[in-house]
Amino acid sequence: MELIEQVSNFLNRPMPLWENGLTSLLVLDKSQQLNLIKADYNIENCVLRQVKTKALIFDIAGTEIKIEAPTDTLNNFYDSHGLEPLSELLIHKLGVDTKISDTLNMLALIPAISDFLKNIVKTIQVIRPENEETDISYSHPEIPFSIFVSVCEASSLRSTLRVAESILHEAMHLKLTLVENILPLIQPFSGNVFFSPWRDEKRPARGVLHGLFVFRAILDYFTTIIDRPEVKPERPYIESRIAQIKTDLSQLKDFASCIDLTKDGAILTKNLLPSS
């Protein structure tokens, strides 16, 4: 079966969004397109294609995912995207490796999510949030297997759940971008904008579709783990996140008829919107 047919099948039956059969094929397809051998994969080499550098990386216990330290050659990239990466010193001082390890263990309450993340995320770069109450995350289409996330300074179950949401959020962005490389989901940019409940503003259709995709995955994650004993102390927090995401998704009930969606994009949209 050709990859385009398998992507089409996924759009028609996308649950769970973190499935690994298609994900593995998408990652393999994109890896073969890159002019970088596996050992050379890092953020700098993706952004500055001609540069073949070795990244300064730190292991995360129990996983192949690495924490990647920032480099000065990416300062323009960081500035243009509003990112302030943590230095190597702060990575160590804040115990970032332990915090992300705890977060990945929380996500591994659903083993398929753990497999999905190990499949699609090769490196994580940690960025500074605006404040302790605000989480920041980012991904970029030209950096197919890396994500940028902030971590909380304090260590707690709630902070772990917050970072877990950020990691899953950005990993799902990576997956949808790989899907779009195979089958277009959005018409060529028309200049039209549509309401995005997460930004409380109007955005191009691609931004709205990506938001729908990632928040549906987060909704499914939280509804799946809410009764687990590991998260019992923060059940009210999880309930509040579930309620908020459902409210946000309900505002997109008509988005499947968006004129900027392709036929495939409309199919995916219909299959992402909760039935209740």
Q: Note the maximum CA span of the chain.
A: 50
The answer to whether 265 and 215 are in contact (CB under 8 A) is: no
The answer to whether 60 and 104 are in contact (CB under 8 A) is: yes
CA distances from 78 to 66, 143, 220 (A): 19, 13, 32
Judged by DSSP in three states, 230 sits in helix
> Model-level pTM?
0.94
pLDDT at 175: 98
CA distance 273 to 194: 16
pLDDT in tens, the chain (276 residues): 699 999 999 999 999 999 989 999 999 999 888 875 556 788 998 898 766 777 777 777 677 899 999 999 999 999 999 999 999 899 988 899 899 999 999 999 999 999 999 999 999 999 998 877 889 999 999 999 999 999 988 889 999 999 999 999 999 999 999 999 999 999 987 788 898 998 778 899 999 999 999 999 999 999 999 999 999 999 999 999 999 999 999 999 999 999 999 999 999 999 999 875
Burial class, 182, CB count within 10 angstroms (exposed 0-12 / middle 13-18 / buried 19+):
buried
- The one-character DSSP state at 142 is T
Please state, as a whole number, how many other Cβ atoms lie within 10 Å of the Cβ of residue 180: 19
Q: Which two tokens stand for residue 114?
A: 């753990």
Amino acid at the residue 109:
L
pLDDT at 45: 87
